């Protein structure tokens, strides 16, 4: 049986219709989508350091969706319009400066990279970016991209390193098996090892699975999570099952307890 499609039966959409669909997708997705322009454009023939400076000085946000606004703690995507790149991703943060240098050295073809965003509240957020650069006649005029917040994952990795370091120091200083001072058994050691194992397993979750997990431990049901993230309820069920499998847990109650011990906070849920 042939599955080839007859192009004559496919609807032809006008530019305004495609544009409307694009913006509908931008508003429905839980992934941050943005567009930045460079005015004046960046000349690819300028010295590297000058191009790097112009990324921060000439770049500003021209379009963004509500998902990005929520990540930034803002009320609306309108609040992001016109913000300079240097104010959102300051070059004073080493990671941002290094990323800008890699972008210039790739002649603005670099598609995947990390940035650190700094908000007015003083909060730092870490993002994985996937971008498409707009280059005309060797001048960079803009960039479209998506961004996924991986701040919680980065925090987990830092806590894991600290836990492992503290654990080694504790064992070395004890000079032998660790015992609980009150009970005389190894419960304290067991709990420490349990937390370490849990955080290690967390690193195997995808960004979306981690996001779903934070809604699950907040007490939200699948239908509510699906509505919040703009995805199908069946997709939420798949992510939820994979979370439990990867975390090697049998119940949500266990998941909540272990998240609390690892200092993982659930999302704030507002129900009307």
Token pair belonging to 186: 């190894």
**pLDDT truncated to tens, each residue of the chain (272 aa)?**
444 444 445 556 565 676 677 666 666 677 888 999 999 999 999 999 999 999 999 999 999 988 888 877 788 889 999 999 999 999 999 999 999 999 999 999 998 999 999 877 777 888 989 999 999 999 999 999 998 888 877 777 776 677 667 656 655 665 544 444 444 444 444 555 676 777 778 878 887 888 899 889 989 999 988 888 878 899 999 999 999 999 999 999 999 988 887 777 777 655 54
User: Which of residues 149, 165, 185 is at a domain's end?
Assistant: 149
Tally of domains within the chain:
2
Q: Are 29 and 134 found together in one domain?
A: yes
User: Which of residues 108, 126, 149 is at a domain's end?
Assistant: 149
Dist. CA 178–CA 88, nearest whole Å? 47
pTM (2 decimals)? 0.59
User: Which of residues 108, 130, 149 is at a domain's end?
Assistant: 149
Q: Are 158 and 253 found together in one domain?
A: yes
Indicate which CATH number applies to the domain containing 117.
Answer: 3.30.450.20
Per the structure, the complete domain to which residue 169 belongs is given by 152-261
- Residue 196 maps to a domain: yes
Indicate which CATH number applies to the domain containing 244.
Answer: 1.10.10.10
The string of pLDDT tens digits covering residues 60-92 is: 999 998 888 887 778 888 999 999 999 999 999
The string of pLDDT tens digits covering residues 14-42 is: 656 766 776 666 666 778 889 999 999 99
């Amino acid at each position: 049986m042939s599955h080839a499609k007859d192009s004559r039966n496919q609807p032809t959409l006008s530019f305004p219709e495609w544009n409307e669909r694009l913006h509908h997708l931008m508003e429905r997705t839980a992934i941050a989508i943005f567009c930045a322009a460079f005015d004046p454009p960046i000349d690819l023939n300028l010295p590297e350091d000058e191009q790097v400076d112009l990324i921060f000085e000439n770049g500003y946000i021209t379009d963004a969706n509500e998902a990005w606004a929520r990540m930034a703690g803002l009320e609306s995507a309108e609040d992001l319009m016109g913000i300079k790149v240097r104010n959102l991703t300051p070059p004073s943060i080493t990671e941002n400066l290094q990323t800008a240098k890699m972008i210039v050295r790739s002649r603005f073809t670099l598609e995947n990279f990390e940035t650190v965003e700094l908000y007015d509240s003083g909060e730092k957020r870490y993002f994985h970016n996937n971008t498409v650069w707009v280059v005309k006649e060797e001048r960079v005029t803009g960039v479209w991209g998506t961004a996924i917040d991986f701040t919680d994952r980065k925090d987990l990795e830092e806590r894991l390193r600290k836990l492992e370091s503290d654990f080694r120091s504790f064992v070395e200083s004890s000079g032998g098996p660790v015992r609980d001072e009150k009970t005389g058994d190894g419960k304290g050691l067991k709990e420490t090892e349990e937390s370490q194992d849990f955080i290690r397993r967390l690193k195997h979750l995808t960004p979306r699975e981690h996001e779903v997990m934070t809604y699950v431990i907040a007490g939200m049901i699948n239908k509510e999570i699906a509505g919040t993230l703009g995805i199908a309820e069946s997709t939420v069920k798949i992510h939820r099952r994979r979370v439990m499998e990867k975390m090697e847990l049998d119940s949500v109650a266990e998941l909540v307890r272990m998240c609390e011990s690892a200092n993982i906070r659930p999302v704030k849920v507002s129900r009307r």
